[in-house]
């Protein structure tokens, strides 16, 4: 009887948390079937089975956190599955609480049992997502009768007390996605019917046990970090503690880049992605990285790692966290392709559908806060990368040209470098090359 073990779903993953079992004891499983949703240090994703048979035993309950390689379920032949099913549900342990309202109550818990601490209880009169999906056949179902929905759609539906089986999915193959659930919730509110909210604290809200007595600072509430937030905190602290940061600042005249983008926008056809200034910066960095291998490398275990591919990570603000999806081989792609990929990746981050492979393999990072009106800032290196470029806002400022004061579109950037691999002069040369490429954007098309 083979075991299904906690898989490694990202290059930095050390443990995972069971969010939702998509198959139950007695269900037939084929290779490639989605059987469980797992929270990793980078994203939530459904794990596809690499074995076929009947699910005979679930070893890890929803909410449990286990290291990579730990058994989470067993698969046997059909006879074993029928025996396990007739024996009744296996007693389940209470889930480990990772954050307020995050894990769901375990399947098989008696109706009279109170919900686990921090768990979200389905609304009265509305069965939980795991039990109600496909009940009336109106939802989009897979072959087993289970409603097909993305992890984020399931979470939102559970929080809102919405029956997924009543929603028509608009995703691939009829899969229910985030916007479908939000549309259903909005329609219910407009109709005045109102779906009863799930019992218990809302996601991100503190449970009664996490509220302190009144202090001199007022009432203090505590929120547990998600696995992603914990990973960000740990990695940023390690980066600042182990990588000797130094910073280089520069101003870039973006006047020609502004004009070039205006021409690209005017020439773009309907539905075509128009490169943003950030896309231009990603392309300029990628070309400069190709010419400066140390900036495209890392210091690790007492030696330099130099990479043959130029993969630029683009920092995206996600829900209560920061996610860095990767534009692979950015030096070989045109501006429009980079623009199209960047937008798709950012949307997948916001929808909670980004996958670990899309967050891995970065060799350099661009972090842009210009849209918030920030002129300059110093970013923390995304270890073990050699550097990160912090980008501010483009603003019209007076500059001196040929002895005359004229207006120019100026951009402030700050390059944070790991002094163990990228020294002062090479870092300055790299940043000067980025500036030259942006000040003459025709080079970005070469």
Instruction: Report the catalytic residues.
Output: 419
Compute CA 239 distance to the chain's CA centroid, rounded to the nearest angstrom.
20
How far apart, in whole angstroms, are the C-alpha atoms of residue 134 and residue 140? 8
**How many angstroms separate the CA atoms of 219 and 222, rounded?**
10
CA dihedral 411, 417, 422, 426 (to 10 degrees): 20
Which of 122, 173, 127 lies closest to 150 in space, CA to CA?
Answer: 173
**In angstroms, rounded to a whole number, what is the distance separating the alpha carbons of residues 426 and 199?**
58
Structure tokens at 424: 């002062």
Question: Can you tell me the distance from the alpha carbon of 320 to that of 301, in angstroms, rounded to the nearest whole number?
Answer: 32
Whether the Cβ atoms of residue 270 and residue 291 lie closer than 8 Å to each other: no
Write down the residue that tokens 């009829």 correspond to.
174
CA distance 316 to 362: 14
Residues with Cβ < 8 Å from 443, sequence gap 6 or more? 287, 436, 437
């Amino acid at each position: 009887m083979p075991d299904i073990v906690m898989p490694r779903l990202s290059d930095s993953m050390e443990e995972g948390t069971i969010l939702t079992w998509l198959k139950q004891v007695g269900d037939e499983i084929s290779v490639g079937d989605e059987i469980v949703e797992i929270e990793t240090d980078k994203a939530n994703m459904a794990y596809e089975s690499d074995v076929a048979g009947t699910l005979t035993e679930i070893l890890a309950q929803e909410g449990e956190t286990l290291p990579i390689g730990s058994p989470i379920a067993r698969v046997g032949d059909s006879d074993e599955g029928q025996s396990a099913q007739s024996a009744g549900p296996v007693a389940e342990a209470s889930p480990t609480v990772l954050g307020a309202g995050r894990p769901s109550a375990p399947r098989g818990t008696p109706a009279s049992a109170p919900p686990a601490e921090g768990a979200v209880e389905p609304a009265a009169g509305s069965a939980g997502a795991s039990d109600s999906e496909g009940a009336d056949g109106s939802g989009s179902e897979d072959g087993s009768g289970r409603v097909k929905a993305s992890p984020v759609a399931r979470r939102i539906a559970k929080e809102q007390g919405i029956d997924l089986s009543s929603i028509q999915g608009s995703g691939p193959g009829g899969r229910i996605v985030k916007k479908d659930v939000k549309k259903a919730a909005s329609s219910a509110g407009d109709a005045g019917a109102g779906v009863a909210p799930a019992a218990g604290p809302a996601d991100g809200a503190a449970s009664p046990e996490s509220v302190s007595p009144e202090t001199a600072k007022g009432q203090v509430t505590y929120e547990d970090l998600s696995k992603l937030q914990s990973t960000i905190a740990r990695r940023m602290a390690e980066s600042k503690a182990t990588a000797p940061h130094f910073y280089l600042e520069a101003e870039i005249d973006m006047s020609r880049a502004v004009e070039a983008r205006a021409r690209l926008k005017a020439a773009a056809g309907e539905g075509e992605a128009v490169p943003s200034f950030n896309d231009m910066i990603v392309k300029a960095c990628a070309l400069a990285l190709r010419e400066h291998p140390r900036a495209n490398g890392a210091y690790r275990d007492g030696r330099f790692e130099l990479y043959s591919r130029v993969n630029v990570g683009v920092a995206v603000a996600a829900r209560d966290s920061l996610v860095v999806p990767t534009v692979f081989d950015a030096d070989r792609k045109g501006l429009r392709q980079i623009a199209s990929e960047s937008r798709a990746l950012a949307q997948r981050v916001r929808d909670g559908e980004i996958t670990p492979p899309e967050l891995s393999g970065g060799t350099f990072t661009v972090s842009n806060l210009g849209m918030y009106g920030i002129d300059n800032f110093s970013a923390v290196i995304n270890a073990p990368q050699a550097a990160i470029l912090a980008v501010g806002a483009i603003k019209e400022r007076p500059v001196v040209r040929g002895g005359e004061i004229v207006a120019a579109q100026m951009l402030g950037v700050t390059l944070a470098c790991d002094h163990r691999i990228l020294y002062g002069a090479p870092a300055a040369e790299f940043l000067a090359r980025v500036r030259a490429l942006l000040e003459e954007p025709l080079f970005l098309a070469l």
